[in-house]
C-alpha cells in the first residue's frame, strides 16, 4: 500500500513539474512582440517590439533580428542579447559580453 501511494505521489509531482516547464517554454519570436516596461538608471522606460523592429519611448524604430533566443540589432555597432521568458509577462535579456541581465514586464 505504501509503495502504491509513493508511486502516485511521484507521478503527480512529475506531472506538475513537466507541465510547469511546458507553460514557461515560450517561443521567443511569439513572446517578444508587444509593449514592455523596464527601468534604466532608475528611470522608467517603455519598449515596443513589433515583428521586426523595436522602439524605445516612442523613438524611431530600430530593426532587429531574432534567431532562436538570440536578439541582435545594429545601431552603430552590433549588440546581442539572449532572451528568456520566465513567465508570459516577464522577459529577461542577457548581455553575453558582460553577463548583465535586464528585466522587462509586459504592459497590458
pLDDT in tens, 65-93: 999 999 998 777 889 999 999 999 999 99
- Provide mean pLDDT across the span 92-106: 96
Encode 58-92: b = buried (16+ Cβ within 10 Å), e = exposed.
eeeeeebebeeeebeeeeeeeeebebbbeeeeebe
pLDDT above 70 for 6: no
pLDDT score, position 12: 41
pLDDT score, position 73: 87
CATH topology of domain 25-106: Lipocalin (2.40.128)
pLDDT above 90 for 34: yes
Q: Which residues 6+ apart lie within 8 Å of 108 measured at CB? A: none
Cell 552603430, residue located: 76
pLDDT above 60 for 16: no
Annotate 5-27 with three-state secondary structure.
HHHHHHHHHHHHHHHHHHHHCCC
C-alpha cell, 14? 512529475
48/76 Cα distance (integer angstroms)? 20
Domain boundaries, the chain: 25-106
pLDDT in tens, 17-31: 333 444 455 789 999
Amino acid at each position: 500500500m505504501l509503495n502504491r501511494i509513493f508511486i502516485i505521489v511521484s507521478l503527480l509531482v512529475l506531472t506538475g513539474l513537466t507541465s510547469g516547464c511546458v507553460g514557461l517554454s515560450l517561443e521567443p519570436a511569439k513572446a517578444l512582440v508587444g509593449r514592455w516596461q523596464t527601468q534604466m538608471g532608475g528611470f522608467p522606460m517603455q519598449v515596443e517590439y513589433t515583428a521586426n523592429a523595436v522602439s524605445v519611448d516612442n523613438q524611431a524604430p530600430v530593426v532587429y533580428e531574432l534567431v532562436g533566443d538570440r536578439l541582435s540589432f545594429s545601431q552603430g555597432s552590433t549588440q546581442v542579447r539572449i532572451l528568456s521568458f520566465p513567465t508570459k509577462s516577464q522577459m529577461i535579456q542577457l548581455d553575453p559580453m558582460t553577463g548583465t541581465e535586464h528585466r522587462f514586464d509586459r504592459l497590458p
